[in-house]
Amino acid sequence: MNAALGHFQNPAPSGGIWHSLNRFLIVLIVLVLAMIAAYRFLPEISKRRDQQSQVERLKLEVETERQMLMRNLREEESLKHDPEYVALKAREKLDLMKPGETIYRLAPPVPKPTQMRRNK
């Protein structure tokens, strides 16, 4: 039976060192081609990452604007339909108060010039 399978078996490489070097060279060529392909797509990957961060930043900006819109709509509704709120805003703007009323004003902290920096 060994004799019958003899011609189906792979023959031993006859090149010796040259056969090993050829395999190494083929692997090296494949690796170099893979590196070239990777460097070709690297700018696309970084561009995609930049676009993703810009989308996140714009989503945050939209949410901030939506909150400000809701606040302004609430204030507009109060100014239209709540006379007490209108009186309060008028007294606040004119720096007046009712008899017996105590006003507490909380001013936001003033940042130091060294802490102020310009946003890009």
Q: Each residue of 62-112: pLDDT tens digit?
A: 999 999 999 999 999 999 999 999 988 888 888 888 888 787 878 888 877
In a domain, 66, yes or no: yes
Percentage of residues of the chain with pLDDT beyond 70: 83
In a domain, 30, yes or no: yes
In a domain, 42, yes or no: yes
0.85 cut: is pTM over it?
no
In a domain, 86, yes or no: yes
Q: How many domains does the chain have?
A: 1
Higher pLDDT, 42 or 22: 22
Question: Cα separation of 120 and 117, whole Å?
Answer: 10
Which domain does 22 fall in, by range? Answer: 16-94
In a domain, 109, yes or no: no
What is the secondary structure of 49-105 as a DSSP string?
HHHHHHHHHHHHHHHHHHHHHHHHHHHHHHHHH-HHHHHHHHHHHHT---TT-----
